[in-house]
Amino acid sequence: MELATVGEVIAERRLVLVRSDGSRREILVLLGKPQRFPESDDCYCPYQIVGFSTQNVRYGAGVDGFQALQLALRQIATELGLRNNSEEGQLSWLDQLDLGFPVHEGTDDQHNGS
């Protein structure tokens, strides 16, 4: 499924890309409201990263809105990590190198709180 926009934006995060020459550029992460796929009970959660050369709308998909949202957040973390390693410069959020998106570190996180 191809999306033109994220639709209703439920969250945004502003990051900064600092290049080796000291110049700064804003990178905007937009997260859309989870929605059902047409003709399905499964859901998708759209997102867009604005400020790099490609700005396609992508989405995480799951069996319900929570899973779609979780997967979209993980995909954002992965995409930013890849971009961070391929661009000339360093991404930061609130002057921190941790961009604040969840990173999947194994299956133990599924058992927290039990």
Which is nearest to 29 in space by CA: 71, 75, 64? 75
pLDDT of the chain, 114 residues: tens digit per residue:
999 999 999 999 999 998 888 899 999 999 999 999 999 999 999 999 999 888 999 999 999 999 999 999 999 999 998 888 766 689 999 988 889 998 765 544 443 343
Q: For position 106, what pLDDT does the model report?
A: 52
pTM of the model: 0.85
Domain ranges across the chain: 9-100
What local confidence, expressed as pLDDT, does residue 108 receive? 42
Torsion over CA: 94, 96, 99, 102 (sign): negative
Backbone angles phi and psi of 53, in degrees to 5: -65, -40
What is residue 103's predicted lDDT score, i.e. its pLDDT? 73
